[in-house]
């Protein structure tokens, strides 16, 4: 039996980041992170065709694994952007009846409050100004705007259009919209505006913020507030309502960069209110130049080793 004899050089460990991905500790699943091991390859002539085939196969598999890591789909992470046009959250330390706190409410009467605002139930409310993990999918994260600023793209009959503009345009495999509605469920059109001036219209149904079923109309709860607020005080139904939902949309052109999303509510219902409160996405990973150089060097080393074996 022929034994493969590798070089004495220890394995090379590579770590790095992709453009658009967040750098995280090794072992985390955050977008764009990779950790690969290049096993040492011996250019020494091998004694049999079988051993030569095995050695080359191992090297090819390892290289393909690294290449695959650069294009693998990542988690849904918050996308920074602008376009939030209403403040619909009462911040901690303030009162609902303070005229400088809100610019709108969810349904004309009731609205959200920030975690810590209700001193009798300080853990209830929504975590404004923070990044949190979706209740429906532990791989997905969203970020809420501060309660002291505009924190929602609010759609209603008299202002039924709003645009979320990406701070940095990018190509995405999938997008997730953090949204909810009041006084019923409504279908929203989302127009993806690409940097090449083309557009693509997708749609999703936004469900009412009070529902007794976590899977109502196919929606997925991302954050539960356990209470809402109005001029008279707080209200809780004893369940986890009201809810912010995660609505996943796909089918976008992954070869194009998205610059913004325009949301449109075609509803003619005077009482309808839809709040878009965050956007997350699974960005198409683009390797850093240094990463590509390392992969190219590895590939050349592999080809050189194969040629030497053939010459032998």
Task: Read off the pTM.
Answer: 0.71
Could you tell me which residues come within 8 angstroms of residue 91 by beta carbon, excluding any fewer than 6 positions away?
A: 101, 113, 114, 117, 128, 146, 147, 148
pLDDT per residue, tens digit, the chain (312 aa), is 444 333 444 333 333 333 343 333 333 333 333 333 333 444 434 334 444 444 444 444 444 444 444 444 448 999 999 999 999 999 999 999 999 999 999 999 999 999 999 999 999 999 999 999 999 999 999 999 999 999 999 998 888 999 999 999 999 999 999 999 998 888 999 999 999 999 999 999 999 999 755 544 446 899 999 999 999 999 998 889 999 999 999 999 999 999 999 999 887 665 679 999 999 999 998 755 555 555 555 555 555 555 555 555
C-alpha triplet 148, 279, 97: angle, nearest 5°: 25
The domain ranges of the chain are 12-72+287-311, 77-284
């Amino acid at each position: 039996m022929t034994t493969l004899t590798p070089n004495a050089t220890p394995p090379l460990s590579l770590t790095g980041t992709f453009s658009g991905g967040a750098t995280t500790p090794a072992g985390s699943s955050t977008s764009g992170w990779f950790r690969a091991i290049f096993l040492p390859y011996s250019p020494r002539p091998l004694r049999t065709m079988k051993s030569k085939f095995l050695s080359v196969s191992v090297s090819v598999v390892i290289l393909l694994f690294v290449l695959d890591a650069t294009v693998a789909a990542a988690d849904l992470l918050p996308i920074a952007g602008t376009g939030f046009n209403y403040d619909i959250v009462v911040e901690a330390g303030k009162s609902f009846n303070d005229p400088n706190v809100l610019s709108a409410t969810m349904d004309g009467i009731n609205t959200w409050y920030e975690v810590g605002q209700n001193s009798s139930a300080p853990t209830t409310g929504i975590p404004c100004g923070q990044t949190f993990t979706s209740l429906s999918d532990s791989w997905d994260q969203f970020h809420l705007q501060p309660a002291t600023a505009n924190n929602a793209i609010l759609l209603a009959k008299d202002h039924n259009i709003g645009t979320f503009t990406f701070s940095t345009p990018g190509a995405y495999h999938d997008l997730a919209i953090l949204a909810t509605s009041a006084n019923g469920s409504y279908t929203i059109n989302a127009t993806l505006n690409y940097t090449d001036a083309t557009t693509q219209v997708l749609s999703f149904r936004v469900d009412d913020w009070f529902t007794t079923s976590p899977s109502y109309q196919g929606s997925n709860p991302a954050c539960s507030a356990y209470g809402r607020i109005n001029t008279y005080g707080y209200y809780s139904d004893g369940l986890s309502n009201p809810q912010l939902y995660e609505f996943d949309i796909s089918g976008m052109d992954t070869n194009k960069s998205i610059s913004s999303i325009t949301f449109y509510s075609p509803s003619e219902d005077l009482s309808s209110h839809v709040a878009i409160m965050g956007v997350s996405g699974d960005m198409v990973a683009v390797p850093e130049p240094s990463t590509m150089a390392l992969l190219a060097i590895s590939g050349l080393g592999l080809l050189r080793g194969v040629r030497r074996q053939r010459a032998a």
